[in-house]
Amino acid sequence: MKADYEVYGAVIKTGTKKTQKSNIETLSAGILGGAYIALGSIGYLTAVANIEPTGVGKLVGSFLFPVGLLLILITGAELFTGNHLMALSTMHGESRPGQLASNWLKIYLYNGLGALLVAGLVHMAGYDTGALSTVLEKVIHGKVALGFGAALARGILCNILVAIAVWISYSSESAGGKAVLIWMPIALFVYSGYEHSVANMLYFGLAWFAGVHFTLAEFLKNIIPVSLGNIIGGGVILPVLYYGMFKNKRQS
């Protein structure tokens, strides 16, 4: 296991490298990242739809969802919420604010594309019917019912856990070690009902294919505050606090 200040340095180095990727590398990594989170989200929905009582199904689903993040971490794909830790490379002057903003915007859009592709495939496969369709409709109705403040707060709470899961994954070089480290923080955010922007892209995309009724305004009412909350949680709160802890202890 790496020491805490070594993990801090690894987070910065990784963030800097991501700003140096070519456009095709970023496109590919972003689409894959969105697809992997979408697959984890489908696992969650499937468990909730098929396991009774609902609380048990939700618990099992919460332990299936982290597969998506593990695939991202061990294959080099990129995730909007995980990339918020790149703020540290900018705070240390190793990347420019423009590079940071460009990466976040591109990965956000490419993650959305990857999630939508998976949603389309799931629909083509006929899985968005029956019990899963019923669960999906409840999920969507719950999300569009959230007020701006509630959605923002849930987005912040979500990405504090997602970003710290990514952070601690740098402690281990092995896939097994990363799996152990990320599983509980991610399962905790899912079971707690916090809001993840990329997962929501899958839920809304699949709902659209399945014919669940919601308007564009309702989608934006959810995705905008959730995305802002994710940025605040993982791109502001954690980087600022850990910068305060480790800026003078960092080892290159």
How confident is the prediction along the chain (252 residues), in pLDDT tens digits per residue? 788 889 999 999 999 999 999 999 999 999 999 999 999 999 999 999 999 998 999 999 999 999 999 999 999 999 999 999 999 999 999 999 999 999 999 999 999 999 999 999 999 999 999 999 999 999 999 999 999 999 999 999 999 999 999 999 999 999 999 999 999 999 999 999 999 999 999 999 999 999 999 999 999 999 999 999 999 999 999 999 999 999 887 654
Domains in the chain (CATH in brackets) are 4-246 (1.20.1080.10)
Question: By CB neighbour count within 10 A (0-12 exposed, 13-18 middle, 19+ buried), where does 108 fall?
Answer: buried
Q: Is the peptide bond before 97 cis (omega within 30 degrees of 0)?
A: no
